[in-house]
A and B are shown apart, each in its own frame.
Chain A
Amino acid sequence: MAGTPNDSTDPPDQPGLTGLTGLTGSSDPDDRDDLASLAPATARRLYELMTLMKTADDRLSRGISSGELLTVYWPSRGQEAIAAAMGVCLRSDDQLVTTYRGLHDLIGKGVGLVEIYGEMLGRQVGASRGKGGTMHIASPGVGVMLSTGIVGAGPPVAVGLAMAAQRLGLDRVVVASFGDGATNTGSFHEAANMAALWDLPLVLLCQNNLYAEMTPTEHTMKIEHVADRAAGYGMPGTRVDGNDPVALVSAVTEAVERARAGRGPTLLECVTFRLRGHYFGDPMAYIPAEQLAAATEADPVLRFRARLVGSGACTAGDLDTIDAAAVASVEEALATVLAAPPTALTEIDHDVYADARNCPA
């Protein structure tokens, strides 16, 4: 599925920006063969991660709807396959820069649910002791260096992280994860050019969910595919079905290996859909009903489950056990967070500067 390096033309039968026709996650008759290309443990791990991401999102959504949980949230539901692929392809010392729509990415990279929920719900146990909030979660211990609320702000910082890895002679790779809309920012273009210029160990991973807020991506760029931008910087651009974990693993592996081998960055466009809209509670009135129906039909988690069972890779019972474990860990994490003390008022006196005495009175 993944394009070869220096090949920025997309392979045939790739998903269209609007039609979602190829975005099935499983309709390809060759699926069985694709799936067989993965080690059984990898396939299972992908499912574990995807179901955990979905469960964490579902629980949050239920809690916010009922008034039980008070937070702001930009849901990642529907984009799980991409983050799960990163989860199985990246090493723990590899680094990630993501965005406000980052729940799935954070879980994939190994950030604990208590840290994530704790941050979203303003608890002392949160990743940033509750001060940063949903949009700004970092967990450097597992390589999550930055989540940005400013669209396009991530890639330049990822360039710097990749530069550091290169200068230090480390073979770690940096992934910058961002949306389709972010590729219209000057920051993205400047960062992509630099990364290519200096052959940095970077993967520019675009989660193209076809919308930027309420605006369809095709209204904001003349080119058809985000991946086509890569040619302008002299790096490979690859377009992949972002709802197909098997195709994603192969595409991410290729980009990561290329970066690790010192051969420079790749722009990887993963075509997917935001099933809950831009923000939690988005009425999604601007999304055509047929498009939403098609996207719902192409739900990557449900599709992958059916595919695993259909191919005989896993039994429904196996997957039920994984699902139950996901529910249990989500509930346990949430209970821990809700029992934890709210972020203390005195937290605002810390971390403005290294030494608080620098704050003007």
Chain B
Amino acid sequence: MTMTEALHLALDQALERDERVFLLGEDIADPGASGPTAGLSTRYGTQRVLDTPISEAAIVGAAIGAAMAGFRPVAEIMIMDFIGIAADQLVNNAAKLRFMTGGRTSAPITVRTQVYGGLSTGATHSQSLEAWFMHIPGLKVITPATPRDAKGLLTTAIFDDDPCIFLEPIRLRGQRGMVPLDPAFAIPLGEAEVKRPGTDVTLISYGRAVVEALKAADRLATDGISAEVLDLRTLVPLDVAAMVRSVGRTRRAVVVHDAVGFAGPGAEITAIVQRELFGTLLAPIERVAARFVPNPAPAALESSIYPSVERIVAAVRQTLRPDQARSDPTKAGIRG
């Protein structure tokens, strides 16, 4: 099934199995709904699938309040760029309630939001802002790259006891894959997955960029370079052990993401991996990310700012250059 269908299934099964679950957001009820929520208000009623006014702060705030009172709200912010309006509620309420009240209250909400980009919609409908939320103690940040992960992770997020930001890359919406139908199927947070095994370099990625990393790995394979693709799946909690396992073997790493590179998620990932594996790495860790510029609207310009197969391959080659080599000159020499 497609990622949209997988997300729909996760929402459907959560609504079905637990009365505490309800959805709220803009244009999520029939007949106006499209995407993962289509059909759900018809099935569960508009008391459990609520169309809201265009009021992002109140959507998230109301989700928090209902969660404090025992519900499991799933709020939708239509596009990630609009989350700024709800940021105060996320950052100062959802993230901090448990701590500030010594565990007496909490906000187990899920905020689903679509990540645009690559659709020529311009600078205010295209941003990958996950680093903002990674930076806030108390929030969890989740981003699937396959239909299976979408279903398993969304199910976990909804029933998780902490506030979760769930990022749905719109460009993966139509992607197909096998998805377990079992309502109990759930993927734990904080477990990265090797999407393609390899031995020479690890491409650490998440979300939409995983697809690009996989294509780059295909390209590299034709040149005899074996790239492992590690999909983080959740940014907080972050699966450091999986990164260390993989990069510990390959001894080279390239971090690939659609978010802006400067102060992006890759900066944290790189810092952690180099600290853990300083003596083992054969080359500095490379990062391939969006350029430091608001998204330009024209397609040609926009695609030039994102990680592409070419940019990933070039970064991998950089890690394989002989002059990068420290303790493995022979291998680097062959690859160079």
Interface residues, chain A, with chain B CB atoms under 8 Å away: 70-72, 122, 130-136, 148-152, 181-182, 184-187, 212-215, 219-221, 285-286, 342-343, 345, 347-349, 352, 359-360
Residues of A within 8 A of B85 (CB): 150, 152, 185-187
Q: Judging by beta carbons under 8 Å apart, are B297 and A131 in contact?
A: yes
Asked if A135 and B124 sit within 8 Å, CB to CB, the answer is: yes
Contact among A148, A181, A182, A214 with B124 in the assembled complex (CB-CB below 8 Å) = A148
User: Beyond A131-B298, A131-B301, A186-B85, is A152–B32 a contact (Cβ under 8 Å)?
Assistant: no
Among B33, B124, B292, B304, residue most surrounded by chain A Cβ atoms (within 10 Å): B124
Specify which chain B residues have a CB less than 8 angstroms from the CB of A343 in the assembled complex: 296, 298, 300-301
Contact status A345-B27, CB under 8 Å: no
Contact between chains at A130 and B297 (CB < 8 Å) = yes
B274 interfacial contact with A, CB 8 Å: no
B69 at the interface (CB under 8 A from A): no
Name 10 interchain pairs, CB-CB below 8 A, sorted by A.
A122-B299, A132-B123, A136-B122, A149-B124, A181-B54, A213-B32, A220-B54, A286-B32, A342-B298, A343-B301
* B304 A214 Cβ-Cβ under 8 A: no
Closest to A152 in B: B54
Q: Are A184 and B55 in contact (CB under 8 A)?
A: yes
In the complex, which residue of chain A has the Cβ closest to the Cβ of B262? A360
On chain B, the residues within 8 Å of A72 by CB distance are 119-121
A218 nearest CB across to chain B (Å) = 11
Once the chains bind, are A214 and B33 in contact (CB under 8 Å)? Answer: yes
Q: Which of B57-100 contact A (CB under 8 A)?
A: 57-58, 81-82, 85
Contact status B53-A221, CB under 8 Å? yes
CA distance A86 to B51 in the complex (A): 33
Contact A133:B27 (CB < 8 A) given known A214-B33, A352-B292 = no
Q: Which residue of the partner chain A has the closest CB to B124?
A: A149
Contacts of B224 in A (CB 8 A): none
Q: What does DSSP make chain A's interface, helix, strand, loop or mixed?
A: loop
5 further interface pairs, Cβ-Cβ under 8 Å (given A136-B123, A215-B32): A122-B301, A135-B121, A220-B53, A352-B294, A360-B292
A214 touches B297 (CB 8 A): no
**A151–chain B nearest beta-carbon distance, Å:** 5
Point out the residues of chain A lying under 8 angstroms from B57, CB to CB: 186
- Mask: chain B, 300-327; 1 = CB below 8 Å from A; 0 = not: 1100110000000000000000000000
Instruction: Give the number of A-B contacts (CB < 8 Å).
Output: 118
Q: How far is the CA of A349 from the CA of B57 in the complex (A)?
A: 34
B20 close to A (CB within 8 Å): no
Which of the residues B55, B82, B122 comes within 8 Å of A133, measured between beta carbons?
B122
Among A213, A215, A286, A345, max chain B CB count under 10 A is at A215
Tell me, yes or no, whether B140 is within 8 Å of chain A by CB: no
Task: Tell me the smallest distance from the CB of A62 to a CB of chain B, in Å.
Answer: 20
Contact (Cβ within 8 A) B304 A348: yes
Find residues 89-145 in chain B having any chain A CB closer than 8 Å to their own CB. Answer: 119-125
| CB <8 Å contact, A286 and B120 | no
B293 close to A135 (CB less than 8 A): no
- Which residues of B, 153-171, contact A by the 8 Å Cβ criterion? none
Query: Chain B CB within 10 Å — which of A135, A181, A343, A348 has the most?
Result: A348
Closest B residue to A148 by CB, please name it.
B124
Complex Cα distance, B31 from A136, in Å, reads: 30
Question: Is B33 a contact of A184 with CB atoms below 8 Å?
Answer: no
In angstroms, Cα B121 to Cα A151, docked, is 14
Give the docked Cα–Cα distance between A347 and B81 (Å): 23
Contacts A151-B54, A342-B298, A347-B301 given: A359-B27 contact, CB under 8 Å? Answer: no
Contact for A215 among B27, B82, B305, CB less than 8 A = B27
Contact call A212/B54, Cβ cutoff below 8 A: yes
Known: A135-B125, A150-B81. A219 touches B296 (CB 8 A): no
Kindly state whether residue B280 has any CB partner on chain A within 8 Å.
no
Q: Are B55 and A130 in contact, with the CB atoms below 8 A?
A: no
B193 interfacial contact with A, CB 8 Å? no
The reply to whether A342 and B300 contact each other, CB–CB distance below 8 Å, is: yes
- Check if B292 sits within 8 Å of A132, measured CB to CB: no
The residues of B that contact A185 with a CB separation of less than 8 Å are 54-56, 85
